[in-house]
Structure 1
């Protein structure tokens, strides 16, 4: 009998794109909320996908960072908008 060949875990593409969106939300001045919301949605989806894969997909740290950065960007952006409007 042959032994199964161990495979290396693959990196989550969703987690990578979530982090890209989160960083973009920090540098885009007028449409910051669009990539921030996308980062939160993609990051949450990536984390669920990574947990369901049981070790065959990596990138939980990137997905978590994307959710945190996206949330911070969203909150800070809302604070600035409220400040500018009032």
Structure 2
């Protein structure tokens, strides 16, 4: 089971890096693994600080940590988060 989780983690990380971010709905359509393995793989990647998992109104979004480490930035006198 652990090797399946590692393999799925690698697939997920590759997809997230290629796209920058991906919704859980899109992710599950891209993988043939069971929900159990997908959830364990996402948990592993989040705990290892390799991806971020955020909830929006209707779905969960997985993204690289690089995209979210910027914090607040001021652009044309408008605070952007």
**What TM-score results when the alignment is normalised by the length of structure 1?**
0.34
Higher relative contact order (CA 8 A, sep 6+): 1
Q: Which has the larger radius of gyration?
A: 1
Provide the TM-score with structure 2 as the length reference.
Answer: 0.35
Relative to its length, the structure with more helix (as a share) is 1
Structure with the larger strand share: 2
